[in-house]
Amino acid sequence: MRSSSGKAAGKKRPAADPTLQIVHPYAAGIDVGNEFHYAAIAPAQAGAGESVRRFGCFTANLMELAAWLKQSGIRTVAMQSTGVYWIPLFDILEAEGLEVYLVNPRQTRNLPGRKSDVQECQWLLKLHSHGLLQNSFHPDEEVRSLRTLWRQRGDHVRAAGRAIQRMQKALTQMNVQLSNVISDVAGLTGMAIIRAIAKGERDPHKLAALRHPRIEASRQQIAASLRGNWRPELLFLLKQELALYDGYQGCIEECDQEIETRLAQLASAPLRTNADTPPPPRKRQRAQGNAPKFDLRTELHRVTGVDLTRIDGIDVLNAHTILMEVGWDMSRFPTEGHFASWLGLCPNNRISGDKVLGRSTKRVPSRAAKAFRLAANALLRSDSYLGAQYRRLRSRLGAPKAITAMAHRLARLVYRLLKYGQEYVDRGTSNYEERYREQQIRSLRKKASELGITLPIQS
């Protein structure tokens, strides 16, 4: 309880100036829309003209908007990331030399009540002028172009997977139980049999003869699974889905060629090690079926100067996804904690009245965070330091929280490798178990000493 003198002292303490200071005097706010963009500037900058104007979405209109802002002496512009409508406007304003603040709509919530486009752009201007808006992270142009290609490739991979599922469904409806004897219908044997069926072959023994030598099932088993009722409408569906699958595979190859060409055009990073090529992986990594056909790992090492695949759990696809989403210039994030928080891998403590209401992480729709979580989940059977740490967390916290915690750990490791050029070295499972044992011994000794007990434990 505070004394009366303390209360008096608190009353005599001068109060801080409650007025907000102007941080960006030459600012503008733009409400982005599909057909029209509303831009607002300060009346002092507008002079005798209008302080709020409406512009169309055509390129000529966007150029007119940029010219009006520059003519009014505007230096910084704040706008929301509304759908994809902001992208052309952002590119033009950035090319004209204006500093664009791309803000999250959650930071610009207006007061309750009806709201118009004019009020929205004026509200953005007011918040931005007082420095109350944070600029969202936006990669460089070369990273954005590669990111677009990589996302397009991912869409084709998922579409090809759906075509495989529909082909398998058609075979099952015809009671062709190929998936019960072959684990991967999209493999060499499965696709060879499906293509033969699409061309008109119905003899199960001739189809079984297409079996790859490494398939565990025998020819007799495969032939028995290929006896079905060949319904014409389902065969027609099978042919169409096969054509779609081949089309998506062709698109994937074109994306791979374009990605390889653009990666080759990027400048090489300064050598951080004595070797020009990445060191060989510590363990043999299993090739994934949807991985690019060119040596993506070597290209990423040349561009970034480090090999992220040496971190346990991170394969070349996860590494490429992370780099295409966040880039490799970690100077945009002050610390590794900022990087993990931007990914949504940090606890989001909601506090009210000195009481913690919740500790769940923020829901951030980040592809990079998803890649980190996939890498963390892959540590379950990893014979490494990180694998042992993940299994310990999983047994204590459960799978969901352990995956998030290990994804946070992997994000910090990637940040250090990219920013400082460090090379990751695995210390092994035994090292982690020994350190964990020493930690438990220290904890037991501390608790015993508090109770006045001496434990005869040998370290």
Q: Each residue of 67-121: pLDDT tens digit? A: 999 999 999 999 998 888 999 999 999 999 999 999 988 777 766 666 788 888 9
- Determine how many CB atoms are found less than 10 A away from the CB of residue 25: 12
Q: Determine the angle formed by the axes of helices 86-95 and 59-71, rounding to 10 degrees.
A: 50
Average pLDDT, integer, range 207-219: 90
Rounded Cα gap, residues 98 and 110, in angstroms: 25
Greatest alpha-carbon span in the chain: 100
Q: What is the pLDDT of residue 427?
A: 80
Rounded Cα gap, residues 290 and 174, in angstroms: 28
* Per-residue tokens: 242: 């096969």
Q: How far is CA 459 from CA 385, 446, 454, 456, in A?
A: 21, 14, 14, 10
C-alpha dihedral over 133, 139, 140, 142, to 10 degrees? -150
* Per-residue tokens: 212: 């790859």
Q: What is the pLDDT of residue 71?
A: 93
Higher pLDDT pick, 113 / 249: 249
- 8 A C-beta contact, residue 136 and residue 203: no
Superfamily covering domain 27-129: Ribonuclease H-like superfamily/Ribonuclease H (3.30.420.10)
Residue type (1 letter), 303: V
Q: List the domain boundaries for the chain.
A: 27-129, 143-265, 296-432
Over the Cα atoms of the chain, what is R_g? 30
- 8 A C-beta contact, residue 66 and residue 30: no
Q: What is the pLDDT of residue 457?
A: 60
Q: What is the pLDDT of residue 7?
A: 47
Average pLDDT, integer, range 251-271: 90
Rounded Cα gap, residues 308 and 69, in angstroms: 43
- Indicate the range of 12-16, 245-249, 298-302 predicted with least confidence: 12-16
| Proportion of the chain above pLDDT 90, given as a percent | 57
pLDDT at residue 9 above 50? no
The band of 19, judged by pLDDT with boundaries at 50, 70 and 90, is confident
pLDDT at residue 279 above 80? no
Rounded Cα gap, residues 2 and 10, in angstroms: 10
List of residues 6+ apart from 306 with CB closer than 8 A: 272, 417, 418, 421, 422, 423
List of residues 6+ apart from 281 with CB closer than 8 A: 309, 310
List of residues 6+ apart from 67 with CB closer than 8 A: none
- 8 A C-beta contact, residue 108 and residue 122: no
- 8 A C-beta contact, residue 62 and residue 167: no
Three-state SS letters, the chain: CCCHHHHHHHHHCCCCCCCCCCCCCCEEEEECCCCEEEEEECHHHHCCCCCEEEEECCHHHHHHHHHHHHHCCCCEEEEECCCCCHHHHHHHHHHCCCEEEEECHHHHCCCCCCCCHHHHHHHHHHHHHCCCCCCCCCCCHHHHHHHHHHHHHHHHHHHHHHHHHHHHHHHHHCCCCHHHCCCCCCCHHHHHHHHHHHCCCCCHHHHHCCCCCCCCCCHHHHHHHCCCCCCHHHHHHHHHHHHHHHHHHHHHHHHHHHHHHHHHHCCCCCCCCCCCCCCCCCCCCCCCCCCCCCCHHHHHHHHHCCCHHHCCCCCHHHHHHHHHHHCCCHHHCCCHHHHHHHCCCCECCEEECCEEEECCECCCCCHHHHHHHHHHHHHHHCCCHHHHHHHHHHHHHCHHHHHHHHHHHHHHHHHHHHHHCCCCCCCCHHHHHHHHHHHHHHHHHHHHHHCCCCCCCCC
The 10s digit of each residue's pLDDT in 28-65 is 999 999 999 999 999 888 877 889 999 999 999 999 99
Strands 350-352 and 99-103: unpaired
pLDDT at residue 459 above 70? no
- 8 A C-beta contact, residue 321 and residue 308: no
User: Which segment, 36-40, 177-181, 209-213, 283-287, is predicted with the most confidence on average?
Assistant: 36-40
Residue type (1 letter), 39: A
Dihedral pair phi/psi, residue 145, rounded to 5°: -65, -45
The band of 274, judged by pLDDT with boundaries at 50, 70 and 90, is very low
Count CA atoms closer than 13 A to 258's CA, side-chain side.
Answer: 15
